[in-house]
Amino acid sequence: MLITLTKSLQQSATDRMLNHYRSMVRIRAFECGAEDLAAAGNIHGMIHSAVGQEAVAVGVCANLRRDDLVTSTHRNHHHALAKGVDAEAMMAELLGRASGTCGGKGGSMHIADFAVGMIGANGVVAASVAIAAGAAQALRSRGSNAIAVAFFGDGGMNRGQCLEAMNYAAVFQLPVLLVCEDNGWAATTRGASVSAGPGTVSRANALGIPAVSVDGNDVAAVEAATHGLVLEIRAGGGPRLLHCLTYRLRGHTCADKALYRAASELELRQHDDPLTRCANRLAELGVSQPAIAAAKQEEELVIQRAVEAALAAPWPPSADAFRDVQDIGAAVSL
């Protein structure tokens, strides 16, 4: 009986890790596919790649329900995919097509799909924290035990609205998880060089918000830390902060060659790739290399098909140009 139970738990852990690996591969393939499309002139505007940061999104979202609400940043594709947004619809959105998640109007920095709890990404640094605080207030008012999750970067911790929203969440003990995705760089500036004091966790603690720092490239560690924090929030414990130490392996945007950082730094961090770490863990759990390779190939094929479908999707009709615009009359007169 004990042996059977142990095998069952092991199998469960293996299946969960394989699902995490699949999700991270899908995200990586999506980001690389988007970069290729941008380079070919099919995407107008910037792509903010999350290559290297996949474990944060996957580990956090593995603990969320469909009705939990997520807000994100300019670097948001991994959060959206991990929360369950359809890859094909997302790719179509990046290309400005009618079948996109926002009808082609939002583009890369404004992915949203309310049906799965992705209530929006935006390009205003740390606005995700303020929006999540408001969403958490709404959830409480409705009597729901769902939570709001705000993803933001280490650079966002220096924004006034971030600290204001954190203070508000703490004062009113709102059900919100604050996820600081600390990749070491605030755009092209090393975050530590412009941030006073001992850091993110200490700032949260100063506001009375319990915080945990975790290896953001270890998907299992992120999942485990998130699990405990989410349980506390759902039980009425108020806001919590998860500080994830990670690293982006691309520049700030698809046009950024990241020449401000040493090549040796990048080379060193490439050895800490979350996908490689997850694949190694799968091997330790007994998953064969052919099985790992097959999972990778299957997920990459999903994105390949998403790219093909997005390129073939129709453009929005011109009549839709002013749909969803608050003041149509003023917009037309301009």
Q: Give rounded-to-5 percent helix, strand, coil for the chain.
A: 55, 10, 35
Report the share of the chain in percent with pLDDT over 70.
94
pLDDT in tens, 258-302: 889 998 998 889 899 999 999 999 999 999 999 999 999 999 999
Helices 2-39 and 289-312, axial angle in degrees (round to 10)? 40
Q: What pLDDT does 5 receive?
A: 46
Q: What percent of the chain is modeled with pLDDT above 90?
A: 84
Between these two residues, 70 and 189, which has the higher pLDDT value?
Answer: 70
Tokens of 328: 């149509």
Q: What are phi and psi of 85, to 5 degrees?
A: -70, 140
Q: What pLDDT, on the 0 to 100 scale, is given for residue 326?
A: 72
| Contact present, 177 and 148 (Cβ < 8 Å) | yes
Domains of the chain: 10-314 (3.40.50.970)
Looking at per-residue pLDDT, the higher value among 147 and 327 belongs to 147
Confidence of residue 329 (pLDDT cuts 50, 70, 90): low
Q: How sure is the predictor about 328, in pLDDT bands with cuts at 50, 70 and 90?
A: low
**Are β-strands 189-190 and 176-182 bridged in parallel, bridged antiparallel, or unpaired?**
unpaired
Q: What is the mean pLDDT of residues 246-268?
A: 90
pLDDT at 320: 85
CA–CA separation, 310 and 114 (whole Å): 21
pLDDT at 195 over 80: yes
Predicted TM-score (pTM) of this structure: 0.93
Tokens of 145: 């035990």
pLDDT (tens digit, 9 = 90+) per residue, 108-141?
999 999 999 999 999 999 999 999 999 999 999 9
CB count in 10 Å sphere of residue 134: 18
